[in-house]
Amino acid sequence: MGFIGDIFGFIATPLYYAISGVLIAWHELFTALGLDPEGGAGWALSIIGLTLVIRAALIPLFVRQIKASRNMQLIQPKVRELQKKYGHDRERLAQETMKLYKDSGTNPFASCLPILLQMPIFFTLFHLLNEASRKFEGKGFLTDDRARDFGESRLFGQIPIADTFWGSGIWREGGGDVGVMVLALFLVLAMTATTFLTQRQLMAKNMPADALSGPYAQQQKLLLYVLPVAFGLGGVAFPIGVLLYWTTSNLWTMGQQFYVIRNNPAPGTPAFKAKQDRDRAKAAKKGTGRARCWRSRRPRCPRPRSDVPRCVSSRSDRPRHNARRTRRREAARERVDPDPRAPGLGDGRGSGELDRFARAGPRERGRDRR
């Protein structure tokens, strides 16, 4: 345990300073806004603010996680083909699978990065709050006096922010604290529900139909039920401050994932089809309000090109358009009947208006019509 403790201390020391610095900064802000510096509301809001800062810093990793999960979903048909082809040779199957990951630029462990990187922060915060509440010892920028203020702070004036569901059980000597149990149980259920809904949202809306079977799908289904149960069982031993952090983090994850699935879904998924339907409905709604040509009944081009005959866009231009059309008709009547055998029709021997019009390309003819 000494070696492991030294490694944890080496990793946790900078995290103590970072977490305590952000926590104290938020606490100072809420104190300046008029909250009691020794009250539980200021410390609870400071923990929520700390969570928002941490999750905002993890956005680039979340983007990598989404890309990795999408790539894993899209290559599942190829993985199943490799399993059918090399199912009898596990070594060859592993080699071909790793080659497929490399060729497609997929990292199967990238989807776990946000959770893995949050775990040291989670344990550091747990240890920081635990030491502050039980021993009144500060870590990092959190002094002993501030640790005592935090350990003695109470939400709603009654519920200690550093207590746990298990430590305040009614089976304890003295009867425990029902208020702590109710609030802690609510946060545990909220943490469990948000974890389940986040994973369920990913599987129901952003996974192709062919990716719902196979080892990757089995892994996702396992996480769907195992993670909520694990957090629910472990949550009874977490202080209320840690439960606030984890519940806020889950709410952030669920909202962030909802935004990504809605605006950038994976191809071939129900979310992708729903986005296409929304885009078509939006385009149709915009099309009904656009000005339409009274001649062709087509939407008007906002910037017609110079080489395309511009269509009349409003009824106010109709007289001018009719006058041009009349002049063209009169000029056509004056021309010679376009007989292919007649001289001067595109053979270079004529020099009249008809010969120039016959040799002209589409652009010149368009200009002549205008």
Question: Domain map of the chain by residue range?
Answer: 8-275, 315-369
Closest to 291 measured CA to CA, from 267, 272, 317, 273: 317
In the chain, which stretches have pLDDT less than 50? 289-300, 302-318, 336, 340, 342-352, 354, 368, 370
Check: CB of residue 54 under 8 Å from CB of residue 124.
Answer: no
Tokens 């994976």 -> residue: 266
- Tokens matching residue 94: 């592993």
Tell me which residue of 324, 326, 331 sits closest to 357, measured CA to CA.
331
| pLDDT, tens digit, 9 for 90 and up, residues 177-193 | 888 888 889 999 998 99
pLDDT recorded at residue 212? 65
Model confidence over 66-88: pLDDT tens digits? 777 777 777 777 887 888 888 77
DSSP 342: S
The pLDDT assigned to 305 comes to 46
At 348 the pLDDT is 43
pLDDT of amino acid 21: 92
pLDDT at 52: 93
> What pLDDT does 321 receive?
53
Confidence (pTM): 0.66
Secondary structure E strands in the chain: 154-155, 159-160
